[in-house]
Structure 1
Amino acid sequence: MTPPSKPRLFITRRLPDAVQEHAAKTFEMTLWPEDRPIGDAFDQWSVGMDAILLMATDRMDAERLARLRTHVKALATYSVGNEHIDLQAATRLRLPVFFTPDVLSDAVADIAMMLIIAAARDTTRAEAILRNGEWGPWSPTAFLGRHPGGRRLGLYGMGRIGQAIAKRARGFDLAIHYHNRTRLSSAHEQGAQYHATLDDLMRVSDVFCVAAPATPTTRKSVNAARIALLPRGAIFTNIARGDLVDEDALIDAITSGHIGAAGLDVYAREPNLDPRFKSLPNTTLLPHIGSAAIETRVAMGLLAVDALANFILRGEKPRNCLNPEVLH
């Protein structure tokens, strides 16, 4: 049998047409046909592939990576986060893993600002009243939210997404405070106030936004003790990862009124949302749609496909590599 003229690429979920068409120009493409996570079927479908484009729902442990290394030359994940991949194992196996930074920062930052404003102005509860046919005569005390301007926004995480949120928040006259693993340069801070500890940040956050990556250090870092440090009535938002937050503590704080309103796009056990969130009228809940703009999803796919092609076909060293040491 004549070997294929193109390297073989397996994509574990259906992607926007523009991405699949682009991939087919360079690779012999195999696509998981179902619109659900591939799960254990991955091992069978990935046999004989030269490259794999993963989703954040695809768990890559050390054992699975070792099996892939017998034939796979590189992986790419259709995400910025990489907690689903044992990156240390991939590095030991000298298996490059590419990701999709930068291109989704603006889309996620847009959702963050939407959640901040929706929570502040109590729009979810107002919309429910309208949809339920309960809208009555105008009243000067009805539908009262809070103006976000002039408040202190605390950003937990000041990477690409955090900086994009800060850029938008300045337009709403929010004072920017942040905590990050490392302090930014003054040029990148643009007047934002740095706090050396997360505790210090939370004490001054009238509006608090989780924008940090998921790491062993950050998981459950927003716990009951720290939530208690927020000013009473604070607005709480999370567009990063659900497992950074102790959801029991968050629900308790919303229920008690310590947190005045919350806007959430991510949860600890997606897609299994804790049902208690649905009963809280002062919450705006989204199903992890931070990057769900067509332009963004296409850009993510093109970036991932091009990284695989540039490495496998051209011997290049794409900059969007999570373990660049294996490229040398």
Structure 2
Amino acid sequence: MQSTKQLIKAGFIIRYLSYSTQFIRKRCFSSTTIMSSRPSVYVTRRVPQIGVDILRKTCDISQWESDDPVPRDVLLRNVEGKDALYCLLTEKIDKELLDRAGSKLRAVATMSVGYDHIDVVECSRRNISVGFTPDVLTSATAELTVSLLLATARRLKEGISAVKDGSWGTWKPLWLCGQGLDGATVGIVGLGRIGTAVAKRLQPFGVDKILYNNVIETKSAKEVGAHFVSLDELLKNSDFVLCCCALTDENRGLFNEAAFSKMKKNAIFINTSRGGMVNQDDLFKALSTGQIAGAGLDVTTPEPLPTNHPLLTLDNCVILPHIASATYKSRNAMSELTARNISAALQGQEMPCQVKV
């Protein structure tokens, strides 16, 4: 009798546990379903945390947790089914990637001011909003541009090497003399936000004249007393030629043999725009033959530049690893704006900084 009661009791316990397990499974499935209803965002790099934290409040995040670019095959696999993509300059956002992402993709936001790596026309055709991060890196880029100009013009690279290798020797009146800004003519190709910010920072150095060339004249020129001239006139008359314009199909390779041949022998060329603006073979020839005095580059093609590249053999060429926006303040602001661009698009709103096609 006792044994029968125990069996009945055990049966009740087993059925109770079975019902409980089913209930828990249903609740877990329901919870998973709710979570998956949140928009999904793929972040293609380890980026300043502020942007990721903003997105986590309303989105499910998956991320390539590395300081190095995500491999193309991994990127293509991980964008499948995503609602938004948080990318960098190193990711090519083309038709192949958009096809792999699928019809759910509503937003592509790049943590950069340049967006030539994104097929914006194809994105527009698919009603995908594209965001970028202008303004927030203007000051940092302008600071770096002036720093690079001074380092190149005053031959700091050669001076540092002379101290390191012991070839400094005694003081010599003409040794390591470079170009100064006092009384100089500066030519800026692309007097936009960054170009204007650079011009403002150069004024206290006592430059005599600022020339600029744009597709059209710009109102900001009056702020810095810049004079609109043709590109040929700018190249011919400038002691310093600064490339500060966005890269387009029309101006790709703008600084080539023909352009360098029009510049002064003592001219310094600076590029903090995009590597594609320059024909690097022609630049090497101009620098190695004395056609121009020096060049400072923060951008190259490709990036990183191979360590055996001819430009790296020249003392009169200073090359930096694309660090124009590399301040904590600027990079945090870029990350935040990228996240806000995505958040707005996912809510059906226009991005704070949206590319217009």
TM-score (normalised: structure 2) = 0.86
The reply to whether residue 18 of structure 1 matches residue 50 of structure 2 is yes
The aligned length equals: 322
- Equivalent position to 2:177, from 144, 148, 151: 144
Root mean square deviation of aligned Cα: 1.7
Q: Percent identity?
A: 34
Q: Secondary structure at the match of 2:251?
A: coil
* 1:279 Cα deviation after fit: 1.1
* Structure 1 spans left out of the alignment, 5+ residues: none
Flag the 1:45–1:120 CA change in 2: closer, same or farther, 3 A: same
Specify which of 184, 194, 206 is matched with residue 161 of structure 1. Answer: 194
- Counterpart in the other structure of 2:225: 191
Matched, 1:8 2:40: yes
Distance in 1 separating the partners of 2:342 and 2:153: 43
* SS, match of residue 62 in structure 2: strand
Report if aligned partners of 1:19, 1:301 keep a CA contact under 8 Å in 2. Answer: yes
Match of 1:278 in 2: 312
Residue number among 226, 240, 244 corresponding to 1:211 in the alignment: 244
Q: Partners in 2 of 1:146 and 1:222 — Cα distance?
A: 21
- SS of the aligned residue for 2:73 comes to helix
Q: Which residue of 1 aligns with 2:263?
A: 230
Q: 1:61 aligns with which of 94, 97, 117?
A: 94
- Give the Cα–Cα distance (whole angstroms) in 2 for the partners of residues 44 and 275 of structure 1: 33
The secondary structure found in structure 2 opposite 1:34 is coil
**CA distance in structure 2 between the aligned counterparts of 1:183 and 1:86, rounded to whole angstroms:** 28
Residue 44 of structure 1: how far off its partner (Å): 1.1
AA in 2 matched with 1:278: L
Distance (whole Å) between structure 1 residues aligned to residue 90 and residue 250 of structure 2:
21
Say yes or no: does 1:46 pair with 2:79: yes
> Larger C-alpha radius of gyration, 1 or 2?
2
Higher percent of residues as helix = 2
1:99 matched to 2:109: no
Matched, 1:247 2:280: yes
Which whole-Å CA distance do the structure 1 matches of 2:113 and 2:285 have between them?
A: 30
**2:161 corresponds to 1:128:** yes
Runs of 4+ in 1 over 6 A off after TM superposition: none
Question: Could you tell me which residue of structure 2 aligns to residue 268 of structure 1?
Answer: 301
Distance 2:166 2:160 in 1: 10
Write the letter of the residue equivalent to 1:121. R
CA drift at 1:187: 6.3
Once the two structures are overlaid, the 10-residue window that deviates more, 144-153 or 80-89, is: 144-153
C-alpha separation in 1, matches of 2:144 and 2:134: 17
Structure 2 letter corresponding to 1:32: W
Deviation at 1:302, TM superposition (A): 0.2
Aligned counterparts, 1:300-315, within 5 A: 300-313=334-347, 315=348
Superposed CA deviations along residues 268-307 of structure 1, whole A, max 9, x for unmatched, are 2111346211111112210111111111111001001011
